[in-house]
Amino acid sequence: EIVGVNWSPPFEGPVCLPEEVVEEYYDAYAVFERLMDKNLPLLERNDDSTEFGEMLRKYAEEHTWEHRLDPGEVLIFNNRRMLHGRNGFKLLNNNNSNIRKGRHLVGCYTNMEDTLSRYRVLMRGKEGVDVREVLNVGNGTTIIP
């Protein structure tokens, strides 16, 4: 039973496997990668695997949500419950020609309990909001009244 996966290709170290399983590892890695990224090319294999590759792409498309953030917009998610990443991009000027300009992207991490506590403090006293109904992380209990 798989209970969790931490996957971050840019931070992978060298593969330390017995030589006899290296090829099998990379085959499985390529399949997993295509389940996660609909933009990767189909697998190149000797057998007739176009149908298999299309199935992987379809799975990735069905389980991918994309949203372009507008200036000032924030995306908040549970880092342990969602695979996430960013796509490349091109900035265009008014003439639709490529320009070199950077983007400003800020990321941060916060402790779930601290975040819920702050939310409860901010919501306390607001009409129609009962902060006791906000469930705790883990066992789903509520705060003591």
How do the domains of the chain map onto residue ranges? 9-62
Token pair, residue 82, equals 């969602």
Residue 93 CA to residue 87 CA, distance in Å, equals 20
The residues near 53 (Cβ < 8 Å, ≥ 6 apart) are 34, 42, 43
Token pair, residue 108, equals 């941060």
Residue 66 CA to residue 64 CA, distance in Å, equals 6
Cα dihedral sign, 8-9-15-21: positive
Is-contact 115 109, C-beta < 8 A? no
Q: How far is CA 139 from CA 6, 35, 109, 136, in A?
A: 23, 31, 22, 7
pLDDT for position 94: 60
Q: 3-state DSSP call for residue 24?
A: helix
Q: 3-state DSSP call for residue 63?
A: coil
**pTM to 2 decimal places:** 0.65
pLDDT tens, residue order, the chain (145 aa): 888 888 888 888 998 999 999 999 999 999 999 998 988 888 776 555 788 888 999 999 999 998 888 888 888 888 777 888 877 766 666 665 555 556 667 788 888 888 888 888 888 888 888 877 777 777 677 766 5
